[in-house]
Structure 1
Amino acid sequence: MVRVSDEGWARRLGGGTHAPVAAVVSLGVAAVGESVSRAVAGDADPQLVLVLGLLALATTAPPAFLRPMPAAVAVSAAGVLSLGLFHGLTVAGLVAQLIVLYRLGRAGGQVVATCLAVPYLVLALVRGADAMTVLAASLGLTAAWVGIARWARDEAVVHRAARQAVAESLVEHTARGERARIARELHDVVAHHISMIAVQAETARLTTPGLPAEGARRLSEIGDTARAGLTEMRRLLGVLREDAPSDIAERHPQPGLRQLTELLDDVRDTSGAGARLIVSGTPAGLDPGVELAAYRIVQEALTNARRHAPGAAVDVELHYTEEALRLRIRDNGPGPPAAAPAGGHGLTGMRERAAAVGGRLRTGPAAVGGFVVEASLPARAAR
């Protein structure tokens, strides 16, 4: 509770544009009353009484209608004039001086606040041990430095909060990127194998001669279970990919272009469809990230071909140039469906992988029928 009260008082003094009017009026009345009573007690001339009253008002009134810096300059000038010419400063004037110096330091005017307190120190050194002058010199600098310290603390709090926000943003960005990486690996590896299970079960059920009815039923159940697993995995992928960035580069290369032959052998063995690997240009060792992206793109294209064009022959073409590796995966199936299947992330994942290594990818119907996936990946040499 004490901390909250202190914060509120500091905010009223330093944070606002003008000081509270009621406080300034109170200080002004007290300053004028003290100044006039002193003058009358000393049998001063009426004109001098008026001047002293106006000067006392000038040492307290500016904070009510001026911003911190001009208010501090006006109050300090009036206070120094009062001490220098009339050897006196009211208690209310001293309080107002401390308030404006604190407000100015609190608002960030470190240099000006310190400079405005220096004339009181000069007067104290020149005039000797006058009580009010010594108080103004010592307390003025103290008030300015306290305001500056509060300003520095608030700035440190702001900067610390900004650094914390940046750190939290980086953590969130990293977490989203990791979710996107996990989603791609689940889709490219696990979903690929589950899809192969479904294809193999269906192929065995339809092509095995003399298969008992119970065996056919079990194979059908295996295929249904695999397809249900794919559906559940797509739901999981949808959760993982939510708000995930699409430009997180792959950092853990696994298979590469040398494993494409094995991949095509698996496709031929499981689906019974034709699959050819056509290589042109001069093969060269590429960056592991590029090779991984190329492998995953081919793998996903083959999985899509089995899923949407079962039994269709597939050609996988690799064309090496000095600048790029060009991929072309084409099947001779019926072509793309009229409406894209809901829940799939294959085409999105392929585009992400191509973009992650600085390449491009295009999908669509082939000119001579079927579906085609074309990608151009930069031919960065292996390190």
Structure 2
Amino acid sequence: MTYVSRTVVDRAMAAGRRVNRAPDWPLVAAAILGLISMMEVAARGAQGPDDTVQLSFALLCGLGATMPLALVRASALAAAALATTATFLTLVSSLPLTYGGAIAQLAVLYVLGLRHTRRVSLLVVLPFIGYAVVVASGFSVILLGATAGALGLGHARRIHGDLRDRDARRRVMEDSLLEHAARGERARIARELHDVVAHHISMIAVQAETARLTTPGMPTEGAQRLSAIGDTARTALTEMRRLLGVLREDAGTVPDRRPQPGLQQLNELIDEARASAGASTRLIVHGHVVPLDPGIELTAYRIVQEALTNARRHARGAAVDVELDYTDDALHLRIRDNGPGPPTTAAASGHGLLGMRERAAMVGGTLWTGPAPASGFLVSAVLPVVSS
């Protein structure tokens, strides 16, 4: 539908120009059907006995059934009530319905079904139901079927429109949730790049410069190479900061200055999981605890975090054990629950397990997921040890 600005209309009228407005189709239809109804009544009056009162009443009933169609946009209920009253009076007076009145009656009932509930529609068509029960003629049954069909068609179109709108809203909500999740993931990637990778690159630049300045008797060629290493590291750091700026801008977030979590924060994570799941969640540590490389600790933390999330989602109420085993060359992680076992294919179709495997692979580790030896689900990871 095309809407014309009121200001544009006023200016056009002031300039003496004609403005084309969309026609009021219900009003036009009411006028045409009213004219048809009048012609039908006049034609029947010319063929029958000269009864002015009956002819006038039939004419009023015909107009009463057609003219409410002009009000259908403003109030479908009022239009349907007026048209039904006129049609019912025509029937109980043993007057024949006009084609114009019948068409207008069905049209307002269709719009009524389109805009109102079935209960309201049923109240409007009660006179037709009563007429069909009392008269019990073939015509009354046909009339009742036609009115019910008009209402049903309107209701069907309204339900179809509601379902279509609901589906559109659902798609918009899903797209919004996916975009929100993607923005959050980009922001987290930016934080991890800044806190882990950028730190190591800056250390390369510092150590190269320190070696060049503090090593006595270094050949000129070696000093130049160290200087080139430092310059390359600083260039890489600058480019990474630019990339982080793009990621944060795309994520719509401000830089988060909080330090990335590590193994020291596992107790807080376990407490949070225990409180939210309402079940036993234990942290078991074996071996000699030593500080590890920040990237290794962050990877271990994220794997435990994702495994606990999966346990809450797929094995709600199950007890979970988180085991850390420190050895000389690796950190072994085992997250095991006593739930029903591996998630179904549909439930496991997300990116959680794949994300854990990718995290482990990025630091040179491995990760395995599957059914636990006795019962439940097991996530097992081996991460190489790099002391911080």
Q: Smaller-chain TM-score range?
A: 0.5 to 0.7
241, 245, 248: which one aligns with 1:241: 248
Counterpart for residue 116 of structure 1: 124
1:54 aligns with 2:50: no
Counterpart for residue 90 of structure 2: 82
Q: Secondary structure at the residue paired with 2:106? A: helix
Shift of 1:121: 2.5
232, 235, 238: which one aligns with 1:228: 235
| CA separation of 1:130 and 1:46: change in aligned 2, threshold 3 A | farther
| CA separation of 1:115 and 1:158: change in aligned 2, threshold 3 A | same
Distance 2:108 2:241 in 1: 66
| CA separation of 1:209 and 1:287: change in aligned 2, threshold 3 A | same
Shift of 1:134: 2.9
Q: Deviations over 1:293-327 (max 9, x none)?
A: xx98xxxxxxxxxxxxxxxxxxxxxxxxxxxxxxx
Distance 1:143 1:17 in 2: 24
Counterpart for residue 191 of structure 1: 198
Q: Aligned letter for 1:206?
A: L
Q: Deviations over 1:96-121 (max 9, x none)?
A: 11110000111134322222223212
Distance 1:78 1:149 in 2: 26
The answer to whether the Cα contact below 8 Å between 1:28 and 1:92 also exists between their aligned partners in 2 is yes
| CA separation of 1:142 and 1:58: change in aligned 2, threshold 3 A | same
The answer to whether the Cα contact below 8 Å between 1:194 and 1:230 also exists between their aligned partners in 2 is yes
Counterpart for residue 144 of structure 2: 137
Shift of 1:163: 0.9
Distance 2:257 2:218 in 1: 48
Shift of 1:88: 2.3
Distance 1:155 1:21 in 2: 27
**Counterpart mapping for 1:1-383 below 5 A:** 19-66=25-72, 67-129=75-137, 131=139, 133-244=140-251, 246=253, 253-256=261-264, 286-288=267-269
Q: Percent identity?
A: 44
The answer to whether the Cα contact below 8 Å between 2:66 and 2:104 also exists between their aligned partners in 1 is yes
TM-score of the pair, normalised by structure 1 = 0.60
The answer to whether the Cα contact below 8 Å between 1:27 and 1:93 also exists between their aligned partners in 2 is yes
| CA separation of 1:289 and 1:241: change in aligned 2, threshold 3 A | farther
Distance 2:108 2:100 in 1: 12
The answer to whether the Cα contact below 8 Å between 2:29 and 2:69 also exists between their aligned partners in 1 is no
The answer to whether the Cα contact below 8 Å between 1:27 and 1:92 also exists between their aligned partners in 2 is yes
The answer to whether the Cα contact below 8 Å between 1:114 and 1:144 also exists between their aligned partners in 2 is no
Aligned residue pairs total: 249
| CA separation of 1:173 and 1:56: change in aligned 2, threshold 3 A | same
Q: Secondary structure at the residue paired with 1:164? A: helix
Q: Secondary structure at the residue paired with 1:287? A: helix
Counterpart for residue 342 of structure 1: none
Distance 1:120 1:47 in 2: 25
Higher relative contact order (CA 8 A, sep 6+): 1
The answer to whether the Cα contact below 8 Å between 2:26 and 2:71 also exists between their aligned partners in 1 is no
Q: Secondary structure at the residue paired with 1:153? A: helix
Q: Which runs of 5+ in 1 are unaligned?
A: 1-15, 258-284, 297-383
Q: Aligned letter for 1:115?
A: L
Shift of 1:184: 0.5
Q: Secondary structure at the residue paired with 1:89? A: coil
Distance 1:28 1:202 in 2: 97
Q: Deviations over 1:195-227 (max 9, x none)?
A: 000000000011001111111111100000000
| CA separation of 1:289 and 1:202: change in aligned 2, threshold 3 A | farther
Q: Secondary structure at the residue paired with 1:242? A: helix
The answer to whether the Cα contact below 8 Å between 2:114 and 2:154 also exists between their aligned partners in 1 is yes
Q: Aligned letter for 1:123?
A: Y
Shift of 1:245: 5.2
Q: Secondary structure at the residue paired with 2:251? A: coil
Q: Secondary structure at the residue paired with 1:256? A: helix
